[in-house]
Structure 1
């Protein structure tokens, strides 16, 4: 563990300090990138897209008052990809998995008077209001409770978070670095690996901000936090109590909600947590105690049904919930309301 080396890192990168926290980390170098069939990292109302499709078939929205172009989804993805290649030199960087939603349709000026059923493909224009992507680095991984986790970076762009009716201004992005649970592609996002409101005006600013996030992120500490979840269990009674409190939280007056740590899952997602407790072949535990690691994965699994623009916020909140309730089971008061 003390001799672990991860690629050829840039000169100004700090040590990752894996030996201080994680246990028995293993580094395996793969010669060729591979793309395997696996579960989706997000499911709700999304479709798969490729960089070629986004480059060739999609227009780029502009700011209405000065006709200045926005930063495209392609520019966003490729900038984060370039930052990853710089920071993780020598590692295997996989191709991005891209999901898009909320297609905005238009037509070229020459086709403005054509009936819709007579439009040719060349007459149509589209772009996607929302885009999410992940890029795995499979040569950096660890195992937690028998589940392989691979280092993963990614981001979310939602044009509805930027005022396109104004002059050009800073545009908002969400970026993260964390781990993906390979058995289910659930994302594990921590505090130091998440920028929930990154505002930039160009790709140079974006590139620098992503590199700074990589530098701040401590993967060994993140792994250690997830390893601790494997050592604590909820009884079935406590799990049912917790589900009931999560449902109750949504109906509390705002004044009472503010006094309790936030919980972002919707009622339907909480229902999915309950169903997965019974049915999920990897993390279900009907009739037995439920480890907090499995509970965490039930939360992140339910989060796959979030829309793109709320997906990463809820992924991060799942981490907050799992770690907070884990602490409450050991006597901490902050999340005590959920299990009392």
Structure 2
């Protein structure tokens, strides 16, 4: 398979090359107008996360939500819309000729308040203008459909996004570094599962300003090896688990969190809980797109990988990307174990 190459931002260009050299896009320079002011192409109705989240748009976040502050010095945090627009601007800088879809924004854990003038009002007398809200947790992503690949009939669009969770900040202190999660990877359009790799994910970006955040996002884009990521995922379709090995994987996954600490520390990290494992087991026979084929006695790792990333869509926002990466590491490790490597052998032996 010929590969796709992303050039560093210093070249002011993106040179995509697909396996068939048929990305099929028309170059279109996109200015960095604030997201809320610019019409965008609508994405699909499916979402990359479900769980207890709800869909919102950038207008709602900018105009109908308050911004939390660090209480000891009353300094503003970097708001959710600031975060989204900063990643959006960095993406436009790095990919100046590409076509972007509208961000899919999901929020959870609403924090309700009221304006000072309404402090003493009974709840049943509160007007809409008296109430304030913000969301403790927010995740977003947007696709770049002009950069894509196909694996086993599944179209994958290059996708960029991030997570912000105020529960990971100490808002009762003075302003300090703020933490963000950002990724660049792919979305499987069959199911909207996110495909995340080690070099395309920064699990904790610590910054003091939007400018620092912008630079950190650009650095992440520069270090991401899209060709290596696609090659890894494509290789999954060539390795298979027998039904016995898949059953071992499910059973060992359930045992993992019950292991004594010394044994657990000797094994690779496994971040999925019982509810996720139950969903994977059920989907093995029932998933519309990735179940084992009728009459087959083995399932390939591309399908197994997508069973895990589908189950991950029921994670909380702040765990979503960590588990997305863990699904990649787990599948890659099992693939190596099938060819004699010992690191992940425990999961299938």
Deviations 1:287-320 (A, max 9, x none): 5211000000000000000000111100000000
The correspondence for 2:316, drawn from 294, 302, 307, is: 307
How far the C-alpha of 1:118 sits from its partner, in A, is 1.4
Indicate the residue corresponding to 1:28 in structure 2.
Answer: 24
Q: Tell me the residue number matched to 1:202.
A: 209
Partner of 1:160: 167
Aligned residue for 2:244, secondary structure, equals helix
Match among 226, 233, 237 for residue 240 of structure 2: 233
1:316 paired with 2:339, answer no
- With over 3 angstroms needed to count, the CA separation of the structure-2 counterparts of 1:230 and 1:117, relative to structure 1, is same
Q: Does 1:270 align with 2:277?
A: yes
How far is 1:115 from its partner? 1.3
Q: For 1:274-294, what per-residue CA distance to the aligned partner results, in whole angstroms no more than 9, with x for missing partners? A: 111111110001652110000
Q: CA deviation at 1:12?
A: 3.5
1:220 corresponds in structure 2 to 227
Q: 1:97 maps to what in 2?
A: 104
Gaps in structure 2 of 5+ consecutive residues? 29-38
CA distance in 1, matches of 2:170, 2:270: 28
| Contact 1:150 1:182 (C-alpha < 8 Å) held by counterparts | yes
**Cα RMSD (Å):** 2.1
Q: Is the 8 A contact 1:177 1:217 kept in 2?
A: yes
1:339 aligns with 2:348: yes
Cα drift, residue 52 of structure 1: 0.4
Distance in structure 2 (CA, Å) of the matches to 1:2 and 1:250? 41
CA shift for structure 1 position 13: 6.3
Contact 1:63–1:166 (CA<8 Å) still a contact in 2? yes
CA distance in 2, matches of 1:27, 1:126: 42
Tell me by how many angstroms 1:50 deviates.
0.6
Q: Secondary structure at the match of 1:143?
A: strand
Partner of 1:68: 75
Q: How far has the Cα of 1:47 moved from its partner? A: 0.4
Change (3 A) 1:90 1:159: same
Give 1:26 deviation, angstroms. 3.3
> Could you tell me which of 298, 301, 305 is aligned with 1:296?
305
Classify the secondary structure of the residue corresponding to 1:224. Answer: helix
Give, in angstroms, the shift of residue 3 of structure 1: 10
CA contact (8 A) 2:14 2:96 kept: no
Secondary structure, counterpart of 1:83 in structure 2: helix
Shift of 1:24: 3.6
Gaps of 5+ in 1: none
* Cα distance in 2 for residues equivalent to 1:219 and 1:89: 17
For 1:119, the equivalent position in structure 2 comes to: 126
- Segments of 4+ moved more than 3 angstroms: 1-6, 8-16, 22-26, 30-34
Aligned to 2:59: 52
Normalising by structure 1, report the TM-score.
Answer: 0.94
Aligned to 1:172: 179
Contact map agreement 2:13 2:94 (CA 8 A) in 1: no
